[in-house]
Amino acid sequence: MSDVKIRLLTLQDWRLYKSIRLTSLEDSPDSFGSTYEHEAALSDAEWLARLDLEFRGLEALPLVAELAGHAVGLAWGVIHEPASKTAHIYQMWVSPTQRGKGIANSLLSEITAWAFHKGCERIALAVTASNEAAVRMYHSSGYLPTGSLEELRSGSALMVQPMVKRLDNTK
Ligand SMILES: CC(C)(COP(=O)(O)OP(=O)(O)OC[C@H]1O[C@@H](n2cnc3c(N)ncnc32)[C@H](O)[C@@H]1OP(=O)(O)O)[C@@H](O)C(=O)NCCC(=O)NCCS
């Protein structure tokens, strides 16, 4: 993990973002509500727009983990409404060859610190219930199941478990 660098994805990184996001969807189709087919059809302008947070008026932390200049991990923190006390995590993925080295834990820590700094009181996400590695990861990071299972996507047999981690930001 020591050689892995985590940094913010900026507008200039849209090609890198497109590449790692499509790779993640292809590698882990059961982990995400979206699909490779859907996102592979997006135009370059749409990929660029996703990272144009100012234009979108979106409070977000799109992170990439890099090893020797290669993207090996991705995660987004998002606060949907300006005054919201809830941050969300999306698109969490680590390259299969780099798993088990703490990269996802580091991405989670960055998002937690960012959400705390933004005054959030909780972080929410949804994880495929049968995805043992991810469920364990969120559990060991302090996320607890909340609410009932939901379909991963319309008509899918896979179910996702909403989870929430409380942040000590209420004082
Ligand atoms: C889930 C995923 C992001 C974990 O990434 P990672 O970099 O290997 O995770 P880390 O090495 O930082 O480990 C974090 C924690 O996850 C748990 N974990 C990770 N892999 C695990 C596995 N194969 N089995 C059980 N627990 C596992 C451990 O609890 C670990 O915490 P610890 O430090 O207390 O041991 C990665 O497996 C992945 O990209 N999976 C496919 C995409 C996905 O499922 N994304 C989640 C969408 S909600």
C-beta of 93 in contact with ligand 1 (< 6 A): yes
What was the pLDDT predicted at 96? Answer: 98
CATH number at residue 53: 3.40.630.30
Ligand 1 atom with least separation from CA of 139: 29
C-beta of 99 in contact with ligand 1 (< 6 A): yes
Q: How far apart are CA 68 and CA 140, in angstroms?
A: 28
pLDDT in tens, the chain (171 residues): 679 999 999 999 999 999 999 999 999 999 999 999 999 999 999 999 999 999 999 999 999 999 999 999 999 999 999 889 999 999 999 999 999 999 999 999 999 999 999 999 999 999 999 999 999 999 999 999 999 999 999 999 999 999 999 998 765
- Asked if the structure places residue 119 within a domain, the reply is yes
- Asked if the structure places residue 153 within a domain, the reply is no
Q: At 98, is the secondary structure helix, strand, or coil?
A: helix
What was the pLDDT predicted at 171? Answer: 53
- Claim: this prediction has a pTM higher than 0.85: yes
- Asked if the structure places residue 157 within a domain, the reply is no
Contacting residues for 96 by C-beta, under 8 A, at least 6 apart = 27
The amino acid occupying position 81 is: E
C-beta of 102 in contact with ligand 1 (< 6 A): yes
Q: How far apart are CA 63 and CA 76, in angstroms?
A: 6
- Asked if the structure places residue 60 within a domain, the reply is yes
- Asked if the structure places residue 168 within a domain, the reply is no
What was the pLDDT predicted at 2? Answer: 72
Cα within 13 Å of Cα(128), Cβ side: 18
Give the structural domain span for 117: 4-123
- Asked if the structure places residue 33 within a domain, the reply is yes
What was the pLDDT predicted at 168? Answer: 85
- Asked if the structure places residue 167 within a domain, the reply is no
* Closest residue by CA, ligand 1 atom 4: 104
Q: Compute the Cα dihedral for 80, 83, 84, 89 and give only its sign.
A: positive
Ligand 1 pocket, mutate which of 93, 127, 137, 161 (most atoms under 8 A from CB): 137
What was the pLDDT predicted at 22? Answer: 98
Ligand 1 atom with least separation from CA of 32: 47
Q: How many domains is the chain built from?
A: 1
C-beta of 158 in contact with ligand 1 (< 6 A): no
- Nearest C-alpha neighbor of 48 from the set 74, 8, 15: 15
Looking at the chain, list the stretches that DSSP marks H as alpha helix, in order from N- to C-terminal side.
14-27, 36-40, 44-50, 53-56, 103-117, 132-140
C-beta of 95 in contact with ligand 1 (< 6 A): no
What was the pLDDT predicted at 170? Answer: 60
Q: Which two tokens stand for residue 52?
A: 């144009």
C-beta of 136 in contact with ligand 1 (< 6 A): yes
73, 107 contact by CB (below 8 A) = yes
Q: What is the DSSP letter of 81?
A: S
Ligand 1 atom with least separation from CA of 30: 44
- Asked if the structure places residue 160 within a domain, the reply is no
What was the pLDDT predicted at 1? Answer: 63
